[in-house]
Each structure stands twice: as structure tokens, then as C-alpha cells.
Amino acid sequence: MPATISETQKQFLETLQKMRPEQIGTGYMHKLCEFLMESSEELDPAWQSIWKKINRSSLLRYVPPHFIHEIEKRISSIEVIDKEIYKIKIKDTTKVTFLLGAGASAPSGIPTVDKLLSELWNRARKIGREDLDKLAKWCADRNITNIEDLLTAAYISNFSSKNSSVISLLDYFLFSGSGTSLQEEEYESRRLRRQRTQIDVSSISFLQETLQTLFALLTNTMISAKPNQTHQSIVDFLKLHNDTSIITTNYDGCMDEAILNRKLKLRSALTSDTHLDVTDKVDLIKMHGSINWAYCDSCHDAREFDLLELKNLYNKDILSYPVMGICKNCGGLRRPLLVPPLSFKFLMFPTLIDIWNTARQRIENADYLIIIGYSFSEADTYITKILSRSMAMKPSQKMIIVNNDPKLAPTLIERFSAHIDEFDKTRILRAVKSSELALPDIINSLLGKTAPAKKAKAKTTARRNTKKRKKTSS
């Protein structure tokens, strides 16, 4: 993608983005085609989606077919990977942090969060759970389609049911905070008392069962998922480059498994082995928890179970996946430590504070942030804030965005430009392509192993470490 585009090209893109196809007149179409045929400047990848908006048959009224063919050829060959990416060469001292989002795990067969909820409802129908059916209808009526919203609500409810004053406070803040008379308040407090009793008696078990079903569904889809090329490429990279951190917002075990399969050790996230012999251990920071982590509601004890063993037993059907367990410390309820991306997570999971602090440090220290399949969603405000703060604090830091969505990088550039004085747009580099396809070339190039098109001489570091590399085992 061109680092900068001409004012003319920018205006075409902006106008066409706003226009409906039928609004594009003959004169404008002529000017547009002339530009696309004759300008020698590089075209922005946005043309690929914008061109689809233009009606081909109406276009034929103004432009000869062979011209259209030429234009389409030019648009389909627009380079969607910034060439600058291939000019980066990593030194031994360069700090690299990967950040993985749902897009990195999608090719491993993990459904996206918006698809999980409909699956949950299908399952509820199969097992004939009337209460879940009712909840499904309620969600459908209100257009609630994201399982993480449901999980969040279940978490808040679970927390509130144990801290009953929280319910009335929530009610106060959200609904009746202002302008109520004394009488109304009294009525309100009677209503709440009544509600609370109902909550305690009838809803807790439903809530617990819903949570359990949600967890079962989430973990079921994830436990058997296998690492894909994205995960393998990252392991290729960290085998050759020491100063690498990996942060993921995914609960699944794909990244972990790819690392462990290549005989590398993982640094334990939940127990404090941080001061012992950590140099040869990989730093994998799972910000939203993991399918092999469990958490006790009562004593807040967090445990990590052996992922490969867990997967193995599950796949052989020797052990069903333990969605609920009993805490060895206190006898309380133990659940998987999977956390929906909302900022109140601190409230529920003190354990995560350390993990989040480490993630922040790794992001702030990085020379390069390689962000894969991560959508910078609204719910993840904390991560988004860390990232923009880090980019603001460290002017030499660069981001490589590997994402299918062509709009993501421009949106980020816009956002950073608004928050950071004289933001240098070339600090954001993008590869608009699936990470499975784009990452191997990028990784090789960063390590100085090969250029994407032609073979290049291997760098000393790469050569020195080649013997350490092993063939992918899965």
C-alpha cells in the first residue's frame, strides 16, 4: 500500500465511499476511469472494495470493455501488503511483541463469538431446556447475539447475587439515580427487596446452570482445536529470536500447543516461577484466561492444568472436560478461568492483574508490535488504551497489522493521528491478508531469511540457530 496517496486519489476514494452507485454520473465516471487508467501512482487497497460498488453494466455505457478490463486488472493487483514490512530486519536486541486476536484462531475451527451464541441455543433446544429456550427468545427479541455479552451478564449476576447491595446500587446508577421523591424511593426499595428475594430463591440455580452450559460450549469448541500456520510461524520466529513476547486474547490452547509441540517450555502464568530459570521459557500472556486455567469463586485460587494432557484425555474420551470442579483449598466451586473482554474483570479476577501488568510492559517495551487477527473491539478498551498510550510514549515503536479487514489500519491511523501530535502514519504497516498466508513470508523476512519473492542470504543469527529448528510436528 502506498504510504501516501495523492489528493486526487484521496478525493475519489472519499467521494465514492459516500456515494450510492446510482448517484455516480457520467462525467464523474469518465474522470474516475481516466484516473484509474492513466495515473502512475500506486493505488490504495480500498479500491478493491469500492470498485465492487460500481455497477458493471452501467459502466459499459460510458467506457469500452477493454478499458474496464484494464482497470479491473490494475485494481485486483493492488499490493495489500506494505512493502516497508519486508525492509524491516530484526536485530538480536530488537524487542518484538505479538498480539493475537480471534482472527488468528479462526482457521483452527474456533467459531467467532457471534456464532457461538446461536450454537448454544441449538444445543439448548436439543436438550429440551425450557429455561434456556426462554432466555434464547429474550436475547433474540433484544438482538443480543454475542456470547461474551451473555457471559459478562452471567458474571455480573453471579457476583451481585453474593453481594446483594450491588444490585440496588446498579439499579440506582442505571435507572433511578435522579429526581426520585422519598415516596418513590421507599416504593423502589420495597420493590428491590422483593426482587432480591426472588433472585435468591429462583434464579441462582438457573444462573449457575447457564454459566455451566456457556463454559461447556466455549471449551468444547476449543479443546480439540489444533494450531494453524499462524501459530507455527510465530514459533518459527521465537525459536530464532529471544526477545519475543506473545500476548493473546484467545482462550483456546492453539498457541500454547504449537509452542509445546516444538519442545519449548512455557513460563507458568499463574504460579510465580518468574525468578527461576526463565530465560529459556516462552512468555505467553493470555489476557482473557485459558481453557486450562481454573478459578475458585470462594478463595480466588487460580490453577493451571497441563494443557497437552487435558487435550489428550479429552480427545481419547478418557476424561470429559471438567467445566466445574471442587476447589482443593476450600471446597468451593471451581470454573474455567475465561474472562469476557470488559474492564470490570479486575473486580472478579484479582489473579489477572499481574497478567495484565505484564502485558502492558511487553507492549510498552516492544520495538515492533505484530498484531494478528485482532479487531480492536470496543469491549477491549483496556488493551486499545495500552496500545495507543504505548504508541504515544514511544515514537520509535511500529505496528504491523496482519488482518483481513482492509479498513482496520486506516481506522487506527486516524485514531492515533487524533490522539498523538504529529503522528507518523508510516509507523503503522499493514498486511491485508489472512495471517496463515501472510505471516510465513513476513516472519522469514523479519529474520532476514528470505525475501517474499526471491531468496536472500540468510543472516548470521538465522544460520547459527538453524540447527536448533525442528520440523513442525502437527
User: Which residues are near Zn ion by CB under 5 A?
Assistant: 296, 298-299, 301, 327, 329-330, 332
- Minimum distance from residue 324 beta carbon to Zn ion (Å): 13
Phi, psi of 100 (to 5 degrees): -105, 135
Q: How far apart are alpha carbons 385 and 403 in whole angstroms?
A: 19
Q: How far apart are alpha carbons 246 and 104 in whole angstroms?
A: 12
Residues forming a β-bridge with 369: 97, 399
Q: How far apart are alpha carbons 295 and 377 in whole angstroms?
A: 26
- Minimum distance from residue 292 beta carbon to Zn ion (Å): 18
**Which one, 239 or 334, has the nearer CB to Zn ion?**
334
Are 244 and 281 in contact, with CB atoms under 8 Å apart? no
**Which one, 217 or 327, has the nearer CB to Zn ion?**
327
What sign results for the dihedral spanned by CA atoms 165, 171, 174, 176?
A: negative
Look up cell 517495551; give the residue.
Answer: 365
**Which one, 289 or 373, has the nearer CB to Zn ion?**
289
**Which one, 3 or 326, has the nearer CB to Zn ion?**
326
User: At 306, is the secondary structure helix, strand, or coil?
Assistant: coil
- Minimum distance from residue 251 beta carbon to Zn ion (Å): 21
**Which one, 303 or 449, has the nearer CB to Zn ion?**
303
- Minimum distance from residue 159 beta carbon to Zn ion (Å): 16
**Which one, 296 or 408, has the nearer CB to Zn ion?**
296
- Minimum distance from residue 162 beta carbon to Zn ion (Å): 14
Residues forming a β-bridge with 99: 247, 371
Q: How far apart are alpha carbons 156 and 168 in whole angstroms?
A: 13
- Grid cell for residue 387: 496500545
Single-letter code of the amino acid located at 446: L
Residues forming a β-bridge with 195: none
- Minimum distance from residue 301 beta carbon to Zn ion (Å): 5
Look up cell 519449548; give the residue.
Answer: 264
**Which one, 250 or 351, has the nearer CB to Zn ion?**
351
- Minimum distance from residue 305 beta carbon to Zn ion (Å): 15
Q: How far apart are alpha carbons 421 and 467 in whole angstroms?
A: 46
